[in-house]
Chain A
Amino acid sequence: MEFKVPTMAELMAAGEEPEILFWVGCAGSYDERAQRITRDICKILHHVGVKYAVLGTEESCTGDPAKRAGNEFLFQMQAITNIEVLNGYNIKKIVTGCPHCFNTIKNEYPGLGGTYDVIHHTQLIQDLINEGKLKAEGGESFKGKKITYHDPCYLGRGNGIYEAPRKALEVLDAQLVEMKRCKSNGLCCGAGGAQMFKEPEKGNKDINIERIDEALETNPQVIASGCPFCMTMLSDGVKLKDKEQEVKVLDIAEITVRANGL
């Protein structure tokens, strides 16, 4: 990184408070591919001059995969510990890089004593575009390129966010093509509900292949999404179909960074 990513601990030591906390998430912290998205989100925050911070090593899993796997104990252990940290820093507003973290903190933490104004990074990008702070100029041109957007379940159906990510794509002047199953009718990438961490049950196809087949039907140059788990599933699918050269799988944050030349 060309700049230093500020942590809450440092800000606190300097007697400062950030406007917004960037919740990175486990995938965003450890997964190599997702780390790139994490850094891009930071670039955006840095570029527009929002005062932000991350928890760094003080962050811990939100507990989402534990909860979806049925382990409410472990989920609440994680949640309550995280809430203590967040409340300790007097956090008000959070942006997440992952729809699963977003959903959990936004919807499930309030019942356990953690109420925050939570947005997903595609919503942040939408707001910044609306405020004129991001322009899709000065960087790579996506003009006329065929892009199809995959709705992550926990962003779309889970929380009704369909427009924010599309807004970020519309400003590119690209050719936005929808898949047959999109928006509220979108098809899961196959990773949710803790599926990411296990072998799929036997069937006749893997879910991410079904999804990639559908995505490829639109002949896209870019498949866009907004979730690190979808990223893994979709990239694996593209790899398996041997289409890596023609089709790029990119997060909305990455596209925004490229378009703005950050």
Chain B
Amino acid sequence: MVAQIIFLLFTIAAIALFTFNFRKIIRNIRLGKSVDRNDQPIKRLMTMLRVAFGQSKMVIRPITAFLHFFVYIGFVIINIEVLEIMIDGIFGTHRIFHGLGGLYNFLIGSFEILAFTVWLACIIFLIRRNVLNIKRFKGVEMTSWPKSDANYILITEILLMTAFLLMNAADLKLQMLGVGHYVSAGAFPMSQYLINLLPSTENALIIIERSAWWFHIIGILAFLNYLPYSKHFHILFAFPNTYFSNLEPKGEFTNMASVTNEVKAMLDPSFVPAETEPGKFGAKDATDLSWVNLMSAYTCTECGRCTSVCPANITGKLLSPRKIMMDTRDRITEIGKNIDKHGEGHEDGKSLLDNYISREEIWACTSCNACVEACPINIDPLQIIMELRRFAVMEESQAPASINAMLGNIENNQAPWKYSPADRFNWADEK
């Protein structure tokens, strides 16, 4: 009874804490500008199924994709196991679903195999991250926190899976000894090899089985609460992020409606502009970005696939699209914290542009879309870069001198170069 109460309190506390933090993130995302991403629901659903469920963009790196796939599938399926743990925990039962018989054996058997593959994949990932010299895991933005974040998660998963297999092994041994309520149920293709490592006294086995059980469930609840602080949030947000991702051709940039009005009024004095919300052009701070940009910032897994294909980054420039996403996330989180502390409308004198992302970074982008293409969960760092450029150019008139010269030429000569418009057709005269 005591155990049940403790379990219940634990679970409620964990879920409450998670909800609290989760809602904060949603609140932060809502600080972004509105953008309509509710069109074409079927196409959006298919995109989500393909990219997030089907992991279609992972396959470009087959080995990683293979390992990630096991972790992913294992994670999804082992969660079904959590259902049984929950019911057992609340009602004080043991392996409540054992009545399913053959199906139960099949389920437990496959969970075991998956637990093992997850375990193995995480070990390989851990080695890959820390021992092998992979450039993608380095970079200026990969400071101590993003590095340890990944390791914490991998170690947690390894421990959780170990606990799961150990629990099953102890259970199996208890089943074989015919102890108390340890009914004969489940198939144990993996943990059966562990039983020889375990002690043979009943009490010791029960202690191992119970401790592993508690460790496993507390671990899962702790993991849940770790997510909002971590890049591992992607296991939840990859789904909405792909659903709401941009469906238009990558080369197409948004036409700013507020500008259209002004331009039309300039070209045609009789034009009566429609009402549009006033505001600044482009983005200086994270709140000037769209909610989709902000959601993406929370979704980014910091995998660095974007940065590893970025021509600017490859050639040693400061720009790293991964950093753009991480900076955006850090800044919007900071703004959220300010609101919690000082209430809405607090100014801390900082902004995404300059305090987080430098001019040098945004001007190094060739808008080549390689980062967008490479992102396994359809994040668009280029959009953020463009919004920052728009602010720099339209609000501050602060572009590199040669860019200003080019803009001046377009304005005066209708070409980015300083040639006379009258000469535009000269090419036809030459041989």
The interface of chain A, by Cβ under 8 A from chain B, is: 1, 4-5, 7, 24, 26, 28-30, 35, 38-39, 42, 54, 56-57, 59-61, 63, 65-74, 76-78, 80-81, 103, 107-108, 111-112, 153-154, 157-160, 181, 184-188, 190-207, 209-211
Contact = CB atoms under 8 A, between A and B. Distances in A.
Contacts of B416: 26, 61, 65, 196-197
A56 B424 contact: yes
A184 B367 CA distance: 14
Given A70-B394, A73-B262, A200 B370 contact: no
A198 B427 contact: no
14 contacts: A30-B424, A56-B424, A65-B410, A70-B386, A71-B393, A73-B262, A77-B263, A78-B410, A107-B251, A153-B367, A157-B250, A185-B373, A190-B366, A195-B366
Contacts of B363: 198, 201
B135 to A, nearest CB: 14
A1 B428 contact: yes
A191 B368 CA distance: 9
B390 to A, nearest CB: 4
B185 interface: no
B394 A30 contact: no
Contacts of A108: 252-253, 255
Contact of B259 (A24, A73, A187, A203): A73
Contacts, number: 217
Contacts of B193: none
A210 B407 contact: no
B311 A207 contact: yes
A230 to B, nearest CB: 11
Contacts of A81: 267
A186 B77 CA distance: 37
A157 B371 CA distance: 10
Given A56-B425, A185-B309, A160 B249 contact: yes
Nearest to B417: A30
Interface residues of B, number: 71
Given A26-B415, A70-B390, A202-B317, A76 B366 contact: no
B319 A201 contact: yes
Contacts of B312: 201, 203, 207
B251 to A, nearest CB: 3
A112 B402 CA distance: 28
Contacts of B410: 61, 63, 65-66, 74, 78
A210 B316 CA distance: 11
A68 B281 CA distance: 14
B337 interface: no
B263 A76 contact: yes
Given A76-B260, A80-B264, 5 more contacts: A1-B428, A38-B427, A77-B267, A197-B405, A201-B364
Interface in B386-425: 386, 389-394, 399-400, 402-403, 405-407, 410-411, 414-417, 419, 421-425
Given A188-B311, A198-B400, A154 B251 contact: yes
B342 interface: no
B282 interface: yes
B121 interface: no
B248 interface: yes
B114 interface: no
Nearest to B385: A193
B431 interface: yes
Interface string B239-258: 00000000011111101100
Contacts of B428: 1, 4-5, 39, 42, 54, 56
A194 B406 contact: yes
Contacts of A157: 250-251, 368-370, 372-373
Contacts of B167: none
A196 B423 CA distance: 21
Given A38-B427, A192-B367, A201 B407 contact: no
B221 to A, nearest CB: 41
Contacts of B427: 24, 28-30, 35, 38-39
A193 B368 contact: yes
B399 A199 contact: no
Contacts of A56: 424-425, 428
A187 B255 CA distance: 26
Contacts of A35: 427, 430
Contacts of A76: 255-256, 259-260, 263
> Can you list the 6 inter-chain pairs with the closest CB atoms, starting with the nearest?
A158-B251, A193-B367, A70-B389, A204-B316, A203-B316, A107-B252
Best-surrounded residue of B366, B399, B419 (most CB of chain A within 10 A): B366
Nearest to B382: A193
Contacts of A69: 389, 393, 399, 403, 406-407
Contact of A72 (B374, B394, B423): B394
Contacts of A74: 407, 410-411
B81 interface: no
A159 B249 contact: yes
A218 B186 CA distance: 58
Contact of A193 (B282, B318, B360, B366): B366
Nearest to B266: A77
B76 interface: no
Contacts of A192: 366-368
B431 A1 contact: yes
A57 B253 contact: no
B276 interface: no
Contact of A210 (B250, B314, B419): B314
B365 interface: yes
Contacts of A211: 311
Contacts of A57: 421-422, 424-425
Nearest to A81: B267
